[in-house]
Amino acid sequence: MSITVKRIIIIAVIVVVAFVLGRLAVRAGMNLLLGGTLFGGDFL
Amino acid sequence: MSKKNKEKKVRAVPIGLGILIFVLAFGAGVVSKFAIKPSWSQKYAVTWSDEIGTLKSDLPYGEGEANKFDLYLPKDSTKEAYGLVIYLHAGGFTSGDKTDDKDTLAWLCSKGYVAAGINYTLRTDTNEASVLSQSNEIKAAVPKVIEAAETAGYHIDKMAMAGGSAGHALAMIYAYRDGKDAPVPVVFTYGAVGPSSFVAEDWGIFGIGLDTDESRQAGAGLFSVMSGKEIAPEEMKDSSYREKVHEIAAAEWVENNPIPTVVAYGACDKVQPFLASKRLEAALRESGVDYRYFVLEHSGHGLQNDSNISKLWMEAIDEYLAKYMPVK
């Protein structure tokens, strides 16, 4: 695997994980204020 | 060149760049949660424009500073009669404004209804406003709203009461308690997360309903503020407080005016007790009401985690509006 392919894969993984965590963080914050579960219902 | 530097050189993504990408993507995730709304929801919120109709703002209905309403009149003024939908704003009885629901009111107006948003005196540290006084203000406002619509040339022959949270509570109180005295028949009520009953054991999320002095004190305090009547901790113990909160307990008035109803509640609600909505559901069922009761199992007061159920709830509202208040 070339260094470029490796780089793209790592960046893509970071982006996806961080994006999901960002959405989960908002959900967690909203749940704290309003009530709700962290998982279930809407995807993310 | 040292061995350490050689290792750094072969790293596919430098740590600094990785952290930067993580932070940016995390921020994008946060923003997307607020910015991206389900596509179905766009159908039920319309940006107001003169193409939809005429908006008359801040029409007075009483002496109080907050006693004002906005009237949304549809473009087509040639119909013989119109249905009126009143939508009351949220805000925990202490905040909010009729303009908060402008897109909802515009949507209703775009469907051909006369729509109105009514302000009511909000509870502050310096006034004695209560759910009871607010419900009485709404009762006083309705005839004025209808009068204003008639003056503008829109004859109202029936109406629906709706709202969100505190506004939903007030809408239900009017629909079930006062609906029979309305100038035109109240044929439908809808909304979400409005507290509909005040039975202490349902209000455990506020520490109320426990067999302790502290709990009874808390219950007496909260229910006194909401009912506008002085309730002593002893009355919480012997349940005599129930008489004092009766006037604001919409669920206890359903049989008085059992009209079609569509409601939604979050099972994890931290702001108003979900358990109280079970009493509403029981009252609707026992009174033979044509109703829909949606429970969003993963959501709280914002109905924020169950978009698929929210969609069904809005579709039911649309369906009931068409059924009980068809635009002729």
Q: Which residue of B has its CA nearest to A20?
A: B29
Q: Is B77 at the interface with chain A, CB within 8 A? A: no
Task: Tell me the pLDDT tens digit for each residue of B123-144.
Answer: 999 999 999 999 999 999 999 9
pLDDT over 60 (residue B65): yes
Is A42 inside a domain boundary? no
**SS3 label, residue B190:** strand
Q: Quick check: helix, strand or coil at residue B87?
A: strand
Rounded distance between C-alpha atoms, residue B161 and residue B149, angstroms: 16
Distances (CA, A) of A39 to A42, B27, B69: 8, 20, 40
Task: Compute the distance between CA of residue B229 and CA of residue B218 in angstroms, rounded to an integer.
Answer: 15
**A40: contact with B, CB 8 A cutoff:** yes
Q: How confident is the model at residue B1 (pLDDT cuts 50, 70, 90)?
A: very low
B41 to each of B303, B309, B313, how far by Cα in Å? 13, 12, 11
**A44, part of any domain:** no
Strand order in the sheet with B186-192: B53-60, B68-74, B114-118, B82-88, B156-164, B186-192, B261-266, B291-296
The closest of B273, B176, B171 to B219, measured between CA atoms, is B273
In this complex, do A35 and B301 lie within 8 Å of one another by their Cβ atoms? yes
What is the predicted pLDDT for the residue at B5? 52
Contact list, B25 vs chain A (CB under 8 Å)? 14-19, 22
| Contact criterion met (CB below 8 Å) for B46 and B113 | no
Per the structure, the count of domains in chain A is 1
Per-residue pLDDT tens over the stretch B177-222: 999 999 999 999 999 999 999 999 999 999 999 999 999 999 999 9
Taking the Cβ of residue B24 and every Cβ of chain A, the question of whether any pair is shorter than 8 Å is answered with yes
Whether residue A41 lies inside any domain: the answer is no
Task: Output the pLDDT for position B306.
Answer: 97
> By the 8 A CB rule, do B267 and B316 touch?
no
How far apart (Å, rounded) are the C-alpha atoms in residues B264 and B67?
Answer: 28
Does B8 score more than 60 pLDDT?
A: no
Computed over its alpha carbons, how large is the radius of gyration of chain A?
Answer: 15
pLDDT, residue B318, reads 98
pLDDT (tens digit, 9 = 90+) per residue, B265-307? 999 999 999 999 999 999 999 999 999 999 999 999 999 999 9
What domain range is A29 assigned to? Answer: 1-35
Do B135 and B118 meet the contact criterion of CB atoms below 8 Å apart?
Answer: no
CA distance linking residue B91 with residue B199, whole number of Å: 22
A35: which chain B residues are within 8 Å (Cβ-Cβ)? 266, 268-271, 299-301
Instruction: Please answer whether residues B127 and B205 qualify as being in contact, where contact means their C-beta atoms are separated by less than 8 angstroms.
Output: no
**Which of B87, B89, B180, B169 has the alpha carbon at shortest distance from B131?**
B169
> Across the interface, do A34 and B271 touch by the CB < 8 Å criterion?
yes
Q: Tell me the C-alpha distance between B90 and B164, whole Å.
A: 5
Which residues in chain A touch residue B300, judged by CB atoms under 8 angstroms apart?
30-31, 33-36
Whether B103 and B49 have beta carbons less than 8 Å apart is answered as no
Tell me the chain B residues in contact with residue A24 when contact means C-beta distances shorter than 8 Å: 29
Question: Among B86, B81, B70, B74, which residue's Cα sits nearest to residue B50?
Answer: B74
The CB-side HSE value for B194 (13 A sphere, CA atoms) comes to 34
According to the model, what pLDDT value does residue B328 have? 81
Contact: A34, B307; criterion CB under 8 Å: no
Q: Is A1 on the interface with B (CB under 8 A)?
A: no
Residues 289-308 of B with CB under 8 A from A: 296-302, 304-308
In a domain, A40, yes or no: no
The whole-angstrom distance between residue B74's C-alpha and the CA centroid of its chain comes to 23
What percent of chain B lies above the pLDDT cut of 70? Answer: 97
Q: Report residue B267 CA to chain centroid gap.
A: 16
Residue A20, domain member (yes or no): yes
How far apart are alpha carbons B88 and B4 in whole angstroms?
66
Residue A30 lies in a domain: yes
Q: Which residue of A has its CA nearest to B270?
A: A35
Domains of chain B, each with CATH number or no CATH = 39-197+249-324 (3.40.50.1820), 198-248 (no CATH)
